[in-house]
């Protein structure tokens, strides 16, 4: 019995040490750009970004173009894609292709595959997503967009990965970044459907990485918390709420860190803090009241309606 407890203590110490090492690595990566441009370029000539018209998708498109990759922009609003394409072509030497597609529909993937034919796609950023309501709401109170949300948040990740992964497997290299959310790390009451859809992205990504790591392919899921984008109604930025461009620049340093990351140091710290809250407290009526009152007031005071 003594040996059992000694072994258990050693395992706990090792787990704590691993967390400390991970945190120190996050600190280092947040202050230093250690991933060379050549690493991203070695994945392939083209990067494909879904939901590229705004927010995080737009920021990834710009940053990957600055790193020397050609970019395929996919989103619903053609005008935004055209404006972004001109910006990228004007500020970099990268080539840009634009594909208009509505990811709430299920009949778009054959045409996307046709548009991508012949391109050496080395990076896929599955970013497109829907948030039914920024303010916390009970399930029956959110807009009735269940099928659209599932198509956008779940089906798009599976179908786009299916299109891009096979050529990556044959070349034995590639990078897939799946943008999930911090609310996927555990079931979040009052964000039920969004949390569940993003949890699928986490599970799918980590299982897929286990399958294809030996093929030389990196599949990483990112679980950020607040990022100021149109989807979050341009929340005021602070130490935790990041601008899309600064989040993306930092997240690219974490590419080789593992199959799951929050993408920036501030969100890693927040995730560690939230993980200390016991489940009984997290799912209590008191916590839900806090979300419906204090947190709702905070959001209302910090959002912007700018386009």
For residue 1, pLDDT beyond 90: no
- State mean pLDDT over 183-195: 95
User: What is this structure's pTM?
Assistant: 0.89
Closest CA to 271 of 208, 220, 237, 222: 222
- State mean pLDDT over 271-299: 93
Show the CA angle centred on residue 38, arms to residues 32 and 41, nearest 5°. Answer: 120
Q: What is the pLDDT of residues 36-68, one digit of tens each?
A: 678 999 999 999 999 999 999 999 999 999 999
Which residues does the annotation mark as catalytic? 194
Other CB atoms within 10 Å distance of the CB of residue 88: 22
Please give the mean pLDDT across all residues of the chain: 90
For residue 195, pLDDT beyond 60: yes
N-to-C CA span, the chain: 64
pLDDT of residue 12: 53
For residue 177, pLDDT beyond 50: yes
pLDDT of residue 172: 95
Closest CA to 123 of 218, 247, 198: 218
Q: What domains are there in the chain, each with its CATH number? A: 35-302 (3.40.50.720)
Contact 85, 96 (CB under 8 A): yes
């Amino acid at each position: 019995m003594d040996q059992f407890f000694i072994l258990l203590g050693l395992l706990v110490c090792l787990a704590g040490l691993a967390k400390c090492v991970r945190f120190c690595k996050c600190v280092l990566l947040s202050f230093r750009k250690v991933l060379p441009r050549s690493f991203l370029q070695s994945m392939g000539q083209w990067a494909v970004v879904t939901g590229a018209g705004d927010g995080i998708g737009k920021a990834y498109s710009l940053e990957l173009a600055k790193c020397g990759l050609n970019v395929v922009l996919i989103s619903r609003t053609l005008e935004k894609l055209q404006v972004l394409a001109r910006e990228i072509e004007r500020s970099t030497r990268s080539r840009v292709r634009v594909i208009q597609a509505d990811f709430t529909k299920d009949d778009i993937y054959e045409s996307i595959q046709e548009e991508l034919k012949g391109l050496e796609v080395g990076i896929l950023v599955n970013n497109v997503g829907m948030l039914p309501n920024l303010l916390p709401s009970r399930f029956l109170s959110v807009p009735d967009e269940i099928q659209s949300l599932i198509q956008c948040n779940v089906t798009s990740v599976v179908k786009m990965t299916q299109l891009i992964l096979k050529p990556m497997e044959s070349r034995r290299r590639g990078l897939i970044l799946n943008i999930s959310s911090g609310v996927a790390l555990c079931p979040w009451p009052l964000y039920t459907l969004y949390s569940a859809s993003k949890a699928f992205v986490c599970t799918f990504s980590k299982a897929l990485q286990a399958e294809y790591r030996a093929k030389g392919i990196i599949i990483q899921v990112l679980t950020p918390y607040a990022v100021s984008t149109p989807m979050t109604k341009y929340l005021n930025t602070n130490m935790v709420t990041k601008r899309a461009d600064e989040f993306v620049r930092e997240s690219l340093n974490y590419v080789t860190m593992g199959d799951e990351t929050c993408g920036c140091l501030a969100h890693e710290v927040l995730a560690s803090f939230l993980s200390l809250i016991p489940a009984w407290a997290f799912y209590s009526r008191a916590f839900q009241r806090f979300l419906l009152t204090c947190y709702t007031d905070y959001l209302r005071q910090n959002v912007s309606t700018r386009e």
